[in-house]
Structures are given as C-alpha cells and as structure tokens.
Structure 1
Amino acid sequence: MPTLRQLRYFLAVAEELHFSQAAARIGVSQPSLSAQIQRLESTLGCRLLHRDRRTVGLTDEGSVFVARARSILREVDHAVREVRDRRDGIEGELRIAFTGSAGFRILPDLVGSFRSERPRVNVSLQELPTARQLDALESGHVDACLLRDPPEDPNLDQLPLLSESLVVALPRSHRLASLKRVPLVELASEPFIFQPRIDGLRFHDTILSVCQEAGFFPQIVQEAENIQTHVSLVAAGIGISILPGIARGLRHPGIVYRPIGPRSVPITHLVLAWRRSDDRPLTRAFVAVARDRTGRRGALPN
C-alpha cells in the first residue's frame, strides 16, 4: 500500500510540476523525492507522471490519483488535529453531576467560565443526589461532581466551593415568619420536610443532629429530593424545611427564609469532587477553573 509520505511527495510534485521545486518545498533531496515517486508508481503498477528533461505532467492515472491523494491527506490531517485536541483538552466531553442547590449560582458560574475558555468541549450535566453522584464518580460514568458534605474518600480529591449557614423555610403566614431569626427550639412541634437520608446522608444527619442538640427529634411528615420541591411543599403548608443558605436564591411568594439562632448552627459545604487517578486534561482544566472562580469569590461564607 502507498505510504502517507509517498502521497505527500506525489502531491507536491503534482502541484509544482517540477521535481526540484517540489523537493525544496517539502525539504528533501531531489533523488530521495524521485525514489519515493518511483516506489509509489511501482506499488500502483502504473505511471502517474510523465517527465522529460524540461517538463513534468500528470498522466490520466495521475490526474485521477491526485484528487484522491489530496482528500486522503486532508482527512488524515483532520484526524491528527482532532486526536491532539482531545489529548490537550481543547475538545471532547466533560460529564458533571450536580446537586440541585448547586444549580442556583455555582454551577452556572463554573460551567459558563469553563465553556468560554473551551468552547469546543461538550459539557454534559446530570442532576443527581449525593449518594448516586458518588456511585457515578466511582464507576467512571461522570468526571466530576458538585455535591454537598461528601464523606472523606482516599480515592477522591475535593475542592470546597461554598460554605453556608442553614436557614429555615417557612410559609409566609407562619407564626414564626415575622422573626428576623428563628430559635431552633421553636421548631420542635413543627412538621418537617426532609431530604431522604440515602440521597444526602451527611446533610440529613446534620439537621437531625442540630435538632437533637436543641432537645427534640423532628417530626418528618414528607421527604423530597430537591430543594425546589421542598420550597413548593412549604408554600403548600405541608411543613417547614431546614435548607442550605443558597436556597434563598429560590424566590417564592408563599414562603420566607429565616436564619436559625440565636446561637450558630453547623455550616454546610458545597464541594467539587473528582477521582484522584483522573489525569484527563479536561477534568484538570475544569478543576483549574473552579479554583480560579473560588479564589475570586473568596469562596466561602455565604
């Protein structure tokens, strides 16, 4: 079979119609160029060029072959560029799982900044609860996760993105809605809407813990996975919900958000996590964007 070198040499001669000029163009000696053309013709079993001491021209077979050679080399060059772009993280696919609360502010900020730097990368997003995010990350179905209060894992690297206090979401007509800050003990008799433990076990356990420290065990009347559903259920009067502070960005005319006090309550953390073994340029580039954006925000308390 003809080699790519032979195709390139032949195309140079076909375009220059002069062996010396073609050799200078591709940076080889004329005898080397002539030898490669002869081998190509021998492989094909026909003459591609007719030449004499003064002129070089294409045979009928050469005229047909030059178009094919040009197309083949164009495709090969395109494939090489595509592979190198993927190797360097210029294009490809980045798969990100995220918890619902990250979608209010952090996710648009990070993904928007990343896409402005690497517009040829396809960013695939999937909203998942914490436990399923960790499973997807471990199995390699996603490349990075935006999740809340993940457990320590020696196989993962983590970057804190946002630290925030908890707030309580109340119906606007609730007896406690007029307070600027709601003492936790005042919620002892209230019906609670909780996130299922399997979906966000550390966040779930944090709320249980602060309630128990205040002297009561919450009356859980409804479970819901995402914050938007919590807000809708609170507005419907089903119960109250303790949420991360970022939930205040989710406006609803039927509810109010109040800090919990008078003493401080635990802080919840939104974290970017990725596999420690992942050395893909795309993953590392996204982490670099997250570090940069976190540094600019001061990152932390909400």
Structure 2
Amino acid sequence: MSKDVTLRQMRYFVAAAQNGQFSMAAATEHVSQSAITNAVLALEETLGTRLFERLPQGVALTPDGQDFLNHARHILDSVRDAIYKAPFRSHDLKGTVRIAASYTLLGYFLPELLGRFRATYPHVELDLRDADRPEIEQAILDGDIDLGVALLSNVDHLKRFQHHVLIRSRRQLWTAPTHPLAQVNSPSLADIAAYPYILITVDESERATLRYWKENGVEPNIAFRTSSMEALRGLVAHGFGVTILSDMVFRPWSLEGKRIDARPILNAIPQMDAGMLWRKGATLDAPALAFQQFLIHACGS
C-alpha cells in the first residue's frame, strides 16, 4: 500500500487539512484545485476510508483523517529534517539556548520540535522555562533569555521586539457528535450563542475569545470557565457545552475516548499566531541562531 502513496499527495492532504478548503490549499501549494482534489481522492482510495467530510464552506477532517494527518506530518517533517542544510556543523556546535515558552506552546507545539532540534544538534543544551507572556516579554527585554516562544496574537506592542510568525492556527467550533450544532455545516456565532459555552482561560484565552465575540456583536452563553484543557475536552465530548479553539490544540478524542468534532465557523474569526520573540538589536550567539533558524525551517515559515 505504501508504494502507492507519494510525498506530494501527503503534502497536498496536509495543506487541505490546515486550510479547511481545497481552493485555499491549492493557492498555498501553487497548484490547481483539481490537483488537491485528486491527491485526496487517491489517498482515500488507497487507505479505504474517508479523510474529509465535504461541507458547503469547505472540508473537515474525519477521525481517520485526523489520525492520518498526524502520520503524514511526521513523515513530511522527517524528510524535511533529512535534507535540511544546517547553518552550522551540527555535531560540532556546543552551547546553551535560553528559551521561555507559554503554556499552550509548551504543551501542544514545542515538544516535537525540541526533539527534532536535539537530534540535529545533540550537543546543544536547551534551558527551557515555563512562563506567561508578560514574563517572557520582560525576560527578553532584560536579556535573561535568548528567545521567547509565545502567542504573538496576544502581544500588545509587538514592535518592541524582533519577531517571526511560525504558525497561524485556524479556530474552529468543537462539539460532541450528537450536539445539534454538529449537524450544522458552518454555524455562525449567533448559532453558537444559543448553547452553553465552555471557556478556556489559560494563555489569555478568555481575553482573546471575548474580543472576537465582541467584534462580531454577539455574546457567548458562558456556562463554565476552566484552566484545564482536558476538563474542557471531557465536557465538550459529553455534550455539556461547545467551545471555539485553534487547530493547534485540537484532538478528536477526550481522555475517556469520547469523540470530539470540529466545524468551521461562518463568521470571520482571527487565527491564532504563534511565533518567536527576541530583543531588538540583539546578536544571537551560534546555538540560539541555530535554534531560531531550525524553527523557521521546521515550520516552513
């Protein structure tokens, strides 16, 4: 079976999953929409399962599609790392990189990248700190860390820093499969406001969430606030409410094995931008520069 699957097919599939629309994936990959469609159809035929649900406003991953996305990303990342031309002789480089990262990035974005960096630069030590955004910003300004990894969309005065966006993560509605909104292809915020809403509070999520609700002139029906992502998943999966969160943190199952569905939203919802911050005018030493350039390469940004 594996000989029938190409890297191009996997790349087009990942682009479709990330963009939620075949047309946007085609624009990202600079190919025709039919090339994306044919690649996905070929994969579905080879795998014997549907990878996407086709919706009027785009596509959404099926549970099998989410599983295959994880494998496809791993394969593409491995190939990318294998042909990566490191700016330094990787086995000769030694030293320490001082990094601070916020909750969401530490939990859902950085671990795999850190592992890949260590495999490329085995003699570089990672001094990793857990901090919230204001602490990261102050540590950069004070010179206590080399690089911060944070949600750039939450930074109020971004021009104070050098920065680079690593990933833009789409926000979608999360529901239980049996929830009424799961039957709506692209619900609006007004549709969502009719049901109990579960609000995550970590990493300034409450502030960011309420901002885009307010900008759309709608107020969520907040039934529960929590700082626990797993509590939120469990409550959503059991039908106690719905939420809107980014694809970066999406998993199709709760800890108890209950399924969670993701649906695109009709309203224009801002993406979540994650990236690096470093001090303006600072000259990064070789280990820090290697880490910076590796993240840019690994994220294709």
- TM-score bucket of the superposed structures, by smaller chain: 0.5 to 0.7
1:189 to 187, 191, 194: 194
Match of 2:16 in 1: none
Match of 2:276 in 1: 272
| Structure 1 residue 140, shift from structure 2 partner | 4.3
Cα–Cα, structure 1 residues 178 and 135, in superposed 2: closer, same or farther, change >3 Å?
farther
- The residue identity in structure 1 corresponding to 2:96 is E
Query: Residue 234 of structure 1 aligns to a residue in which SS?
Result: helix
Q: How many residues align?
A: 206
Cα–Cα, structure 1 residues 264 and 107, in superposed 2: closer, same or farther, change >3 Å?
same
Q: Say whether the 8 Å CA contact 2:174–2:242 is kept in structure 1.
A: yes
Indicate the structure (1 or 2) with the bigger Cα radius of gyration.
Answer: 1
- 1:143 is aligned to 2:152: no
Q: Say whether the 8 Å CA contact 2:185–2:264 is kept in structure 1.
A: no
Match of 1:110 in 2: 113
- The residue identity in structure 2 corresponding to 1:293 is A
| Structure 1 residue 226, shift from structure 2 partner | 5.3
Q: Please list the CA deviations of residues 146-172 of structure 1 after superposition, one character each: whole Å capped at 9, or x if unmatched.
A: 211133334421111111221122233
- The residue identity in structure 2 corresponding to 1:256 is I
The percentage of counterpart residues that share the same residue type is 20
1:137-216 correspondence to structure 2 within 5 Å:
137-148=140-151, 149=153, 150-196=155-201, 200-201=203-204, 203-216=205-218
Query: Residue 227 of structure 2 aligns to a residue in which SS?
Result: coil
Q: Say whether the 8 Å CA contact 1:167–1:257 is kept in structure 2.
A: no
- 1:121 is aligned to 2:124: yes
1:133 to 132, 136, 145: 136
Q: Say whether the 8 Å CA contact 1:195–1:225 is kept in structure 2.
A: yes
Query: Residue 159 of structure 1 aligns to a residue in which SS?
Result: strand
Cα–Cα, structure 1 residues 249 and 116, in superposed 2: closer, same or farther, change >3 Å?
same
- 1:235 is aligned to 2:240: no
- Give the whole-Å Cα distance in 2 for the aligned partners of 1:209 and 1:255: 29
**Runs ≥4 residues deviating over 4 A:** none
Cα–Cα, structure 1 residues 140 and 248, in superposed 2: closer, same or farther, change >3 Å?
same
In terms of mean alpha carbon deviation, does 159-168 or 239-248 score higher? 239-248
TM-score by length of 2: 0.57
Query: Residue 110 of structure 1 aligns to a residue in which SS?
Result: helix
- The residue identity in structure 2 corresponding to 1:219 is N
Q: Say whether the 8 Å CA contact 1:177–1:256 is kept in structure 2.
A: no
1:290 to 287, 295, 301: 295
| Structure 1 residue 207, shift from structure 2 partner | 2.3
| Structure 1 residue 243, shift from structure 2 partner | 0.6
Unaligned runs of 5+ in 2: 1-91
Match of 1:262 in 2: 266
Cα–Cα, structure 1 residues 204 and 258, in superposed 2: closer, same or farther, change >3 Å?
same
| Structure 1 residue 286, shift from structure 2 partner | 0.9
- Give the whole-Å Cα distance in 1 for the aligned partners of 2:166 and 2:299: 6
- Give the whole-Å Cα distance in 1 for the aligned partners of 2:159 and 2:267: 34
| Structure 1 residue 237, shift from structure 2 partner | 4.7
| Structure 1 residue 124, shift from structure 2 partner | 3.3
Unaligned runs of 5+ in 1: 1-88
| Structure 1 residue 228, shift from structure 2 partner | 3.7
- Give the whole-Å Cα distance in 1 for the aligned partners of 2:148 and 2:253: 25
Query: Residue 164 of structure 2 aligns to a residue in which SS?
Result: strand
- The residue identity in structure 2 corresponding to 1:118 is Y
In terms of mean alpha carbon deviation, does 143-152 or 159-168 score higher? 143-152
Query: Residue 261 of structure 1 aligns to a residue in which SS?
Result: coil
TM-score by length of 1: 0.57
Match of 1:224 in 2: 226
Q: Please list the CA deviations of residues 193-221 of structure 1 after superposition, one character each: whole Å capped at 9, or x if unmatched.
A: 3243xx544x5444223323444222334
